[in-house]
Structure 1
Amino acid sequence: MNSPGLSSTSFSAIEQEVGEWWLAALQENMLQVGAEERRIAMENGFFHQGIPAITVITDGGWSKRTHKHSYNALGGVAIIIGQATKNFCI
């Protein structure tokens, strides 16, 4: 294709921009899902010491090793699922 590669500076700038967009989208999603779970808890009278109580299912992980190499990832993955709505945040 005879196209030049991407410089590390350009790659880092794009990675930063995508990371900021991804963080904003995740935060917005988490607030929306949390508000819906809170509303349902209040409608059903689920409170703990006067605070709406919601139940969530969570899981997460990170890369510790790869095949024939020692490796510790700087980041990981996680998911939170609201019990009432079955909506999730990654």
Structure 2
Amino acid sequence: MCKNICTIKSENTHDTEKINLNIAATTGIVASGIGYSQFEELCSAIDVPVFTLNTYTKYQDQVLKKWEQTASSSMAAAAEKEKEIAIEEGQTKGGFPVIDVLVDGSWCARSYGSNYKALSGTAAIIGRKTGQILYIGVKNKYCLVCARAENNNISPKEHKCFKNYEGSSTSMENEIIVEGFYI
């Protein structure tokens, strides 16, 4: 009624730092667990044009790379903090800090005690003193692109393959935890 226009920003940005709306949208898609199709359908319902699937894939790769870098630096900082605490408390053996950890793992599907054929599993190593993640890993026994190519008796197209495990489903968690102690 007063004819004044007020702009309220939802992001704290500097004049030189502009937020890329496509990156922000892609981050939201990935973080909320929906896919490109659901995003496209939602935007269609509210008559908002969307970027193409190829554009989404490009931005998704950027978002995931940034998340991976952030996770790696966060885990390194957590490990350093656990190390400092162990040294301060005199918990060393042979000059090396001894860090107490908690480990946990899971499968992507419940077995109910009879079907131990999960195609993916994850595990984490957590510092007991800080409660922060020191390592997290994922094992996959399946890749959709590779499986489709195999079903069609062709070579898979060039892609980022997430299949990184051949062993039994019951040993996925253990292997991830052991891997975490060697990194």
How does the TM-score come out when normalised to structure 2? 0.39
1:85 to 130, 143, 153: 130
- How many Å apart are 1:4 and its aligned residue? 4.7
2:98 is the counterpart of 1:53: yes
- How many Å apart are 1:33 and its aligned residue? 0.9
Higher Rg: 2
Return the letter of the residue paired with 1:19.
Answer: L
Q: Name the CA shift for 1:26/1:53 in 2 (closer, same or farther; >3 Å).
A: same
- How many Å apart are 1:8 and its aligned residue? 2.9
Q: Name the CA shift for 1:78/1:46 in 2 (closer, same or farther; >3 Å).
A: same
Paired residues of 2:107 and 2:118 also in contact (CA < 8 A): no
**CA distance in structure 1 between the partners assigned to 2:118 and 2:79 by the alignment:** 34
2:69 is the counterpart of 1:20: no
Q: Name the CA shift for 1:9/1:62 in 2 (closer, same or farther; >3 Å).
A: farther
1:36 to 55, 61, 81: 81
Return the letter of the residue paired with 1:50.
Answer: G
Q: Which has the higher strand share?
A: 1
Identity of aligned pairs, percent? Answer: 29
**CA distance in structure 2 between the partners assigned to 1:79 and 1:53 by the alignment:** 18
Q: Which fold has the larger relative contact order, with Cα–Cα distance below 8 Å and residues 6 or more apart in sequence? A: 1
1:72 to 111, 119, 124: 119
Shifted more, 78-87 versus 50-59: the winner is 78-87
2:55 is the counterpart of 1:10: yes
Q: Which runs of 5+ in 2 are unaligned?
A: 1-45, 111-116, 137-183
Paired residues of 2:82 and 2:129 also in contact (CA < 8 A): yes
Q: Name the CA shift for 1:71/1:62 in 2 (closer, same or farther; >3 Å).
A: closer
- How many Å apart are 1:25 and its aligned residue? 0.8
Q: Cα RMSD (Å) of the superposition?
A: 2.6
Return the letter of the residue paired with 1:25.
Answer: T
- How many Å apart are 1:82 and its aligned residue? 1.1
**CA distance in structure 2 between the partners assigned to 1:6 and 1:34 by the alignment:** 40
How does the TM-score come out when normalised to structure 1? 0.70
